[in-house]
Amino acid sequence: MSWRRGGVIYQIYPRSFADSSGDGVGDLKGVTEKLSYVADLGVDAIWLSPFFTSPMKDYGYDVSDYRGVDPLFGTLGDFDALLQRAHDLKLKVIIDQVYSHTSDEHAWFKESRASRDNPKADWYVWADAKPDGTPPNNWQAMFGGCAWEWDSRRRQYYLHNFLAEQPDLNVRNPAVQEALLDVARFWLGRGVDGFRLDVVNFYIHDAQLRDNPALPFKNVPARPHQFQRHLYDRSQPETLAFVEKLRTLTDSYGGFLVGEIEDEAPLKRQIEYTSGENRLHTAYSFFLLRQRRAAPDIFVEAMESFANADAWPSWALSNHDVPRFPTRLCGDDEDRARCVIAILLCLRGEIFLYQGDELGLPDAHVPFEKLKDPEAIRFWPAGIGRDGARTPMPWTKDGGFSTAEPWLPLDPRHLARNAADQRADPGSMLAFVRSLIALRRESPALREGAWARQAAPAGILAFERVAPGETIYCAFNLGDAAATLAAPPYPPRRLWRGRLAADAFTLDPCGGAIFASAGDAG
């Protein structure tokens, strides 16, 4: 059984995980010191968000040196030590790669903007102004405003899908592709086990720079880019050819490729980017990450979309870009959060846990004067922003993250759910999550088995996972009333907020049951 087939991957946001240097910002040595905690969860791998050299306009997703470690996080030697420690603990290490764009302080962009005829002149997306001086088309940036920025040196516009300080690479250019493949070789050669590809479907733009059509809406969107159907600024078919080159290279090292998909048809695009044997090993989208309610139909839609596809998905409920799932999906109800994370850990595909998911952390409150996220500041007070998901990990009731004031404040509600107290409590969310990860790890059906929906009363999500020699039956009550179901002809391995009778079982709201036919499933 491959570690990555149905494995559990734990996302670490280094800036907020653990601070070893006492400057209030997490670092690589801090991550290394806490890896035993991650290994004890039973996960298969970690994903490290960017730690590369960066001016930090977008907190590391604006890379100025793909091969360098930002001094804020440590040194390349610190990364090598982290990698060795992780491997000693039997943890695979996946690192972020941001190939859609760079920082405007990257040497490539400095050279590109210097003139229209230098060796890297075509390494970024440049275009002339319209006759009236306006931008080349109507594309809008994710973080607000026009996606084009005027450059007075070249007297042209350059494309940026995010901040103006994050110019888009021209990944159509074969020289750019080779440079990015060379970056991948550098990290694979150091021993990393794979890459998480940031906004992988943003790599290539429409060659004709056609306007995006308007998107009908009932209420005025919060962000300008939501006014459009993004037909031409992302998800171009040519991107797949470069993805295939990345797959060939990564396979030659025995590595793993997972992509992040941001698209108006997220499930369809996930399938497209993972179909067959020569594209991504897997991809996750914002389909579950954007949901605002935990209901059976959303999980059914996610699973059934892949039922007949030659593709393999990944799923996450939280990450560094969206409000944490206990708040977004569960109204900060811990019982409901337990039920929802149990569903996640029973789905078909790779599973991503974001640091603090295992503690049931709600989205943190960060007052305006403490905000750091440029998106949050730009759209305040609309409640859009990412800082609430990025506050430091609460290791102890006093914080335990740093000896200095943290870069973002710790929410008192997080301190009450700290890791130390939960490790000592067999009834904690942490203990609950660890038990489910252990069950998944030992179950061929949960890791790789087929998925089939089962009949159930309203509000109940019921399905089977089936592999040779093992059937797992799962039922979860996402409704507001207790419900009784016929029991399968094999014993329960996990049952909470419920009762078992001779041939039936009852689940209270937020209750769940997992039955296993095999004797060695957990």
Catalytic residue numbers, as ranges: 198, 262
| Exposure string for 456-489, b = 16+ CB within 10 A, e = fewer | beebbbbbbbbbeebbbbbbbbbbeebbebebbe
State the angle between helix axes of 239-252 and 174-190 in degrees (0 to 180), rounded to the nearest 10: 30
Distance from C-alpha of 159 to C-alpha of 168, rounded to nearest angstrom:
6
Is the Cβ–Cβ distance between 1 and 447 less than 8 Å?
yes
Distance from C-alpha of 34 to C-alpha of 23, rounded to nearest angstrom:
17
Closest to 7 measured CA to CA, from 518, 446, 358, 304: 446
Distance from C-alpha of 67 to C-alpha of 61, rounded to nearest angstrom:
14
Distance from C-alpha of 369 to C-alpha of 362, rounded to nearest angstrom:
20
Q: Which long-range contacts (CB under 8 A, 24 or more apart) does 273-280 make?
A: 273/200, 273/201, 273/240, 273/243, 274/311, 274/312, 274/313, 275/309, 275/310, 275/311, 276/310, 276/311, 278/244, 278/247, 278/248, 279/240, 279/243, 279/244, 279/247, 280/197, 280/200, 280/243, 280/247
